[in-house]
């Protein structure tokens, strides 16, 4: 019986390490490893409920999982737009949308230079993107989302954060991400959500924070663009 338990624990550790390393490979550009992020998509899907409006933007949409989930919250007269720097990911997102019969417009570009006129969107969200960028680029990306929003529009920023419960985080398949992210990374530390002051300085208000995942290892900051 003890031997069975030992093998089970060993298997859990292998699965955890494998899942975490897959996430890291994906996060650093290995786009064909997108499948392990399906679990992250399930964790983050409640964020879609925080969005409101008919015209939505996903800045850094990746393979389009959350953008397609948002389709359930958009009125028939609305529209879904995505911006993605990776041509491979953008192409995969378009294929997923076509298979599901969901109309979306996905263009190649970066969050710091959005190809849209001012006031184009009711809401914008940016998931698992900021930690890839140096902190000096956060303001440019958020300012661009604010420029593309209509007055009163909502922005949702989602990314990794230091887990609130280390004990629960250790047993999560995401735990290797917390340990290995900074190895060779040119991005920011995992705790990327101390954004309230930056959002306030850029004209956002009604700022709230939310946590998801094992031990609160994934966080969201939600705010609205001031109407005046």
User: How do residues 36-71 score in pLDDT, each as one tens digit?
Assistant: 444 444 445 445 545 556 899 999 999 998 899 888
How many CB atoms are closer than 10 A to CB 209?
Answer: 14
Question: Is pLDDT above 90 for 135?
Answer: no
pLDDT in tens, 192-211: 557 888 999 999 999 988 87
Say if residues 149 and 119 touch (Cβ distance below 8 Å).
yes
Per cent of the chain over pLDDT 90 is 38
State the pairing for strand pair 149-160/204-212: unpaired
Measure the CA–CA gap between 196 and 192, rounded to whole angstroms.
Answer: 11
Residue 181's pLDDT band (cuts 50, 70, 90) = low
So what's the pLDDT on residue 197?
A: 86
Per-residue confidence (pLDDT) for residue 102, from 0 to 100: 92
Q: Which residues contact 70 (CB under 8 A, 6 or more apart)?
A: 48, 51, 56, 58, 80, 125
Where do the domains of the chain lie? 2-225
Mean of pLDDT values over 159-178: 66
Contact at 8 Å (CB) between 90 and 116?
no
DSSP one-letter code for 29? T
Q: What DSSP element (H or E) covers 91?
A: helix 87-100
Q: What is the pTM of this model?
A: 0.71
Tell me the C-alpha distance between 181 and 178, whole Å: 6
Largest CA distance in the chain: 67
Please give the pLDDT value at position 151: 94
Q: For the stretch 19-42, what's the b/e string if a residue is b when 16 or more beta carbons lie within 10 angstroms of its beta carbon?
A: bbbbbbebbeeebebbebbeebbe
Provide the mean pLDDT of the chain: 75
What superfamily would CATH give domain 2-225? Vaccinia Virus protein VP39 (3.40.50.150)
């Amino acid at each position: 019986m003890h031997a069975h338990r030992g093998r089970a624990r060993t298997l859990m550790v292998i699965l955890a390490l494998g899942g975490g390393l897959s996430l890291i490979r994906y996060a650093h550009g290995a786009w064909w490893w997108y499948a392990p992020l399906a679990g992250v998509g399930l964790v983050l899907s409640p964020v879609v409920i925080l969005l409101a409006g008919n015209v939505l933007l996903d800045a850094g949409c990746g393979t389009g999982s959350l953008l397609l989930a948002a389709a359930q919250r958009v009125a028939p007269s609305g529209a879904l737009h995505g911006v993605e720097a990776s041509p491979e990911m953008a192409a995969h997102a378009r294929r997923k949308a076509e298979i599901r019969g969901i109309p979306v417009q996905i263009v190649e570009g970066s969050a710091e230079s959005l190809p849209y006129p001012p006031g184009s969107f009711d809401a914008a969200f940016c998931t698992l993107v900021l930690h890839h960028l140096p902190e000096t680029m956060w303001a440019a990306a958020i300012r661009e989302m604010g420029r593309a929003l209509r007055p009163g529009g909502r922005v949702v920023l989602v990314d990794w954060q230091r887990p609130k419960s280390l004990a629960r985080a250790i047993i999560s398949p995401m735990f290797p991400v917390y340990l290995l992210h900074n190895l060779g990374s040119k991005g920011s530390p995992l705790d990327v959500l101390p954004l309230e002051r930056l959002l306030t300085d850029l004209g956002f208000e009604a700022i709230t924070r939310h946590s998801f995942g094992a031990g609160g290892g994934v966080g969201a900051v939600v705010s609205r663009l001031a109407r005046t």
